[in-house]
Amino acid sequence: MTMESDNDFCIKVYSPGNFIAKEITIHGGVTLGGDARHHGFTDEQVAAALRACVGKGLVISTKRRWAGAYWYLRWACNYPVDVQQFCEKIQSLPVRFPEEHDCCYENIRKLCTLSFMSYDATRMEEVRVSRSDQPEFAICREVALKLAEELGKACLPTV
């Protein structure tokens, strides 16, 4: 739970299933998930961040590297946990990528089942990675850090 002001708070639930709360009294606004008013990001902001990350010579230079975007956006922006739905969400964004850099379910579905994917990417310093998963973790970490940097720019005031 994060306090946004004296009158409201935001609850973000990042895993599928039910959220059950007992004995909570709310005297103000509540936001489930994220939106731009509560440190979430709009589709346009995510698209701009991805535009800076996807392409030849950039951090998402192959289709497999979308697994890192899946990991980060799932946790930081409440994107779908289901890989197929994630890819559909990416395809619905106001940005188009060349076919050789497109987000594709078949190219990331197996990577998205690696054990570290179930840990919050925004707290990656706490993630324990198996030796066999370390190469993929390093790639996903690189993508996640770059996305975090680019999304951070979305919060900066424009001059």
| C-alpha span between 57 and 9 (Å, rounded) | 41
28 pLDDT exceeds 80? no
157 or 130: whose pLDDT is higher? 130
Amino acid at 36: A
List Cβ neighbours of 63 (8 Å cut-off, separation of 6 or more).
Answer: 100, 101, 102, 103, 104, 107, 108
Please compute, for residue 137, the number of CA atoms within 13 A of its CA located in the half-sphere on the CB side.
19
Helices (H), 65-115: 66-76, 83-92, 105-108
pLDDT, residue 4, reads: 47
pLDDT, residue 50, reads: 97
pTM for the whole structure: 0.74
Of the pLDDT bands very low, low, confident and very high (cuts 50, 70, 90), residue 33 is very low
116 pLDDT exceeds 90? yes
